[in-house]
Structure 1
Amino acid sequence: MTRSSYDRFVKSYFKDLLQPLGSVEIARRLSEYVEIDVWFVPHESPPVAEVAKLGLLGRFAAKAAIFETFLDEPDEMDVSNSLLKLLKMIDKFERQPSEDEEEVAENNLPRLWVLTPTASAELIEGFRARERKRHWSPGVYFFAKSFRSAIVAIDELPETEKTLWLRILGKGKVRQQAIDELMALPEDEPLRSKVLKLLSVTSDQ
């Protein structure tokens, strides 16, 4: 999959998966030269069944989130630029009027999820990112708490139903395994047909 076809796939993919849970904005522009890949704000009470269906991605979408997606492993500058986007959005949030400033600070500020097919030890260590295996899946590396960010190494995610919708964004054998699992889902599963159609369209472009 080329970079352009991957970008088209990601845009449609996140819209289809996340729209039942909240507001999805693709390529949100922050300035003339800076834009967010995917900007998501959940509904106040998203459908529990839809959240559960998305597994780990559903957990990511529990709060306002920036999803920065990479076809190949990002370098430190790529991740740093993603962090800058998060800081710009946090600044916008804090400038919004609210009846409960504490709630805005603690609960509603966005998080950054950097989705990459793989992440080298050097990249992870460069940001002092750490797994929290007691509460989160292996392959999710969190920065220090105040950064509200994590790198998701898709090739390190366990091959379970809960990670399927993230592994679809991987590469090579990881992605093919996820596609095989997707095809094995019941034919009346709406997401199955939607995603297979997207994969078919983008692979032809």
Structure 2
Amino acid sequence: MTRFIYDQFAKDYLSELLSPIGTVTPSRDVNSEVREIDVYFTPGTARADYVETLGILGKMATTTALFEPFRNPVSVSEVRSCVSKLLDVIAELERRSRRENTRCEEAELPKLWILTPTASEMLLNGFNATPDEENWLEGI
């Protein structure tokens, strides 16, 4: 059931406009399978020397993050799955923030780190990934 009159209007309007050219299913449920994040990391207090010893991983671990390591080159489908997990986590945090009447700061949202031995130019271009060699090493 639609909670807001605008939402119902928009569904009805789009259904009416689109039905002559295809099948319209308003309010379709999305059934999601249970998926797991490989590693969900929340930073705590850490010794600076230990973080420095970790190198790039230590730098990645300065914020809340999802780590998704792959043994083989990651596929488009696997990247989509990782992004979907990230968006699910962000949506969960935003819902909690609304329930608790608190602010959900962009800087506090988790980052996604997909660790792959290699990524093709086609894959990177398809996701509009650009190197950030100013802040990271080549390949990140």
> TM above 0.5, one fold?
yes
Against the structure 1 CA distance between its residues 49 and 119, is the aligned structure 2 distance closer, same or farther, given a 3 Å change threshold? same
Q: Distance in 1 between matches of 2:102 and 2:61?
A: 22
SS in 1 for 2:39: strand
How do 1:149-188 residues align onto structure 2 when only pairs under 5 Å count? none
SS in 2 for 1:35: coil
How do 1:51-200 residues align onto structure 2 when only pairs under 5 Å count? 51-97=51-97, 101=103, 104-140=104-140
Scaled by the length of structure 1, the TM-score of the pair is: 0.49
Q: Which runs of 5+ in 1 are unaligned?
A: 1-30, 141-205
SS in 1 for 2:105: helix
Measured after TM superposition, the shift of residue 107 of structure 1 is: 2.2
Corresponding position of 1:37: 38
Q: Distance in 2 between matches of 1:87 and 1:105?
A: 15
Structure 1 residue runs of 4+, over 6 Å off? none
Assess if the C-alpha contact under 8 Å between 1:94 and 1:105 holds in 2.
no
Q: Which runs of 5+ in 2 are unaligned?
A: 1-31
The code of the aligned residue for 1:33 comes to V
Q: Distance in 1 between matches of 2:37 and 2:50?
A: 24
Task: Point out which structure has higher relative CO (alpha carbons under 8 A, 6+ apart).
Answer: 2
Query: Which has the larger share of helix?
Result: 1
Greater Rg by CA: 2
